[in-house]
Structure 1
Amino acid sequence: MVRLALFNKGRIGLLDGDDLVDVTELLAGSGTFGPAGALHHHIETADLHGPAELDLAGRTRFPLAETVLEAPLPRPGKIIGAPVNYLDHKAEMEYTTSVADLGVFLKANSSVIGPGQDILLPYSDKRTDQEGELGVVIGRTAAHVSPDEALDYVFGYTCLLDITVRSGEDRSTRKSFDTFTPIGPWIVTADEIPDPDSLDLRCDVGGARRQRTNTAHLIYGIRDLIAYTSSVMTLHPGDVIATGTPAGVGPLSHGDRVVVEIERIGRLEVGVDGSRATPYEERPGRRDH
């Protein structure tokens, strides 16, 4: 299983047993990589599916338990979301439309955080929900691709949380607050997951199970979702597609721990901090009636 992480202030690590092996120079060279990070640079410039075989002899190893994992893509080119892409979520929210009617939406790339960081609740009197999802990382430029060829454009897969405020603004606004897109703990390369439409997913909040599904239940499966999205906008290496969430979304509270775990990919855990939340009516830009 090829799992690539960003750790210890921007280094690329390949998970090998209980260690992260530093492969930064092997995969990205020795330059400076900017805010998008070294792994993004590798995805843009290297073989689509990453390292099948690397000589790890002599490379520096770090026990995974002693490293600080970061978001593998701290600033993706864009984050594309699929609204209402599970029928059970459509039912629980009493929506009359699904992804087939709504299309896709964009989230700000500044909303990304990594493992162990905190989701910051913006409002003290508006519900903020967790949405556990499979994240698809694009590996090469894709425009108007067919479903049959869609997976050829995927670099890998990751765990993702699409955090959402239940207020009245546009969907992209409600999902784009800083810290509202936890990603990680790493990217599993696409060659390790032959069928992304058959992965178990669960999401726990405060130690209680909230969401459980299999990606087989997506309305738009991964192939169709990539094909549709690429018909709207050109996808570039390092872009991330959030594929939608199942039933079980619910409110987050200060001090919660949120865990999303996906079969064959891994476990992403983050905290929740509501200490700086303010009343909704005190938000900047509000209109007084």
Structure 2
Amino acid sequence: MRLATFNGARLGIVDNDELTDITDLAGVADSGKGGPLLALLEAGKTVQDLAAMDFSAAPRIPLTEATISAPLPRPHKVIGAPVNYIDHQIEMSEQKTIGEYGVFLKSPSSVIGPGESIQLPYLDKRTDQEGELGVVIGKLARNVSVDQALDYVFGYMPVLDITVRSGEDRSTRKSFRTFTPTGPYVVTADEVGDPDDLQLKCWVGGELRQQVNTRELIFSIAEVISYASHVMDLEPGDIIASGTPAGVGPLADGDDVILEIEKLGRLAVVVSAGTAINYADRPGPRLAADTVR
């Protein structure tokens, strides 16, 4: 089952070139900024619950007439898994992997959807794309075992973890508005099968930069979930970005970025430097200097 958030705050099931609007029947018409899918998950609905519903009378529209947005526009948390492929560790000359670094958090306000724009913050600092398999948590996970971890997954989707190469910590460098493109759909776990055997490809400006199978992850998807659940509560609708392979590279104004993951579809966004400033002009250093006595 492929679930899309569309036309503002409607929830739909995608079937080939049509979309079935299940918003009203699923009881998520007044979902707020978290979006209808988050409301569905917070209500405790499962894939099995959706499959048992009768949507035969639900409105159907051509997919081409729908405006698709981020499946989860404001999740409670976005959790990142740093250095989770050996080839990326080598590429970035990292001394450690996720095993030593642990996980990090990204701001929920960094989430955008397909067709939107990544806004480069700085004119003179490199900003990179990182294509990743995204995991959507379906129910509260706390101290779960590796063997049970996948039972807590609602579905999967493509996620881009955009990163400024500057001196701040990971959460700062990855939390700018627009830095977590997601979508276009959440594909339910039953349809995906093994998340540790999916092909991932990412293009920037028509150049294939990243290509990997998720079987090459250092921490498997189940291990990432289990580890994170021992650090913090994983709540319904939380997103985990599971790590990026080698091939990250700089983004430039006007670039198109396409992330394709087997069984999950294509996430396409563009890049803009329209609001970018020089790194030295960011407000923090001036504010800090003004307060020094």
TM bucket by the smaller chain? over 0.9
* Corresponding residue for residue 65 of structure 2: 66
Query: 2 CA distance for matches of 1:134 and 1:95?
Result: 21
Query: 1 CA distance for matches of 2:246 and 2:190?
Result: 29
Deviations 1:60-104 (A, max 9, x none): 122112211000000001000000000000000010100000000
**2:172 paired with 1:173:** yes
Query: 2 CA distance for matches of 1:84 and 1:179?
Result: 22
Query: 2 CA distance for matches of 1:63 and 1:166?
Result: 41
- 1:87-166 matches, cutoff 5 A: 87-166=86-165
- 8 Å contact 1:164–1:175 — kept in the other structure? yes
* Corresponding residue for residue 37 of structure 1: 35
Query: 2 CA distance for matches of 1:268 and 1:238?
Result: 19
Letter in 1 for 2:280: E
Pairwise CA distance, 1:17 = 1.8
* Corresponding residue for residue 75 of structure 1: 74
SS in 2 for 1:80: strand
Pairwise CA distance, 1:47 = 3.0
Q: Which runs of 5+ in 2 are unaligned?
A: none
* Corresponding residue for residue 9 of structure 1: 8
SS in 2 for 1:226: helix
Deviations 1:26-83 (A, max 9, x none): 22344x2111011100011133325225433232122112211000000001000000
Q: Which runs of 5+ in 1 are unaligned?
A: none
TM, length-normalised to structure 1 = 0.97
Letter in 2 for 1:267: R
* Corresponding residue for residue 216 of structure 2: 217
* Corresponding residue for residue 235 of structure 1: 234
Letter in 2 for 1:78: K
Structure 1 stretches of at least 4 aligned residues deviating more than 6 Å after TM superposition: none
**2:44 paired with 1:46:** yes
* Corresponding residue for residue 55 of structure 1: 54
Query: 2 CA distance for matches of 1:273 and 1:55?
Result: 43
- 8 Å contact 1:27–1:46 — kept in the other structure? no
- 8 Å contact 1:28–1:39 — kept in the other structure? no
Letter in 2 for 1:36: G
Deviations 1:108-157 (A, max 9, x none): 00000000000000000000000000000000101110000001100100
**2:207 paired with 1:208:** yes
- 8 Å contact 1:49–1:156 — kept in the other structure? no
SS in 2 for 1:116: coil
* Corresponding residue for residue 28 of structure 1: 27
Query: 1 CA distance for matches of 2:253 and 2:131?
Result: 18
- 8 Å contact 2:111–2:182 — kept in the other structure? yes
**2:271 paired with 1:256:** no
Query: 2 CA distance for matches of 1:58 and 1:232?
Result: 44
Q: CA RMSD in A?
A: 1.3
Letter in 2 for 1:169: E
Pairwise CA distance, 1:237 = 0.4
SS in 1 for 2:95: coil
Deviations 1:172-212 (A, max 9, x none): 00000000000100100111122100000000001110000
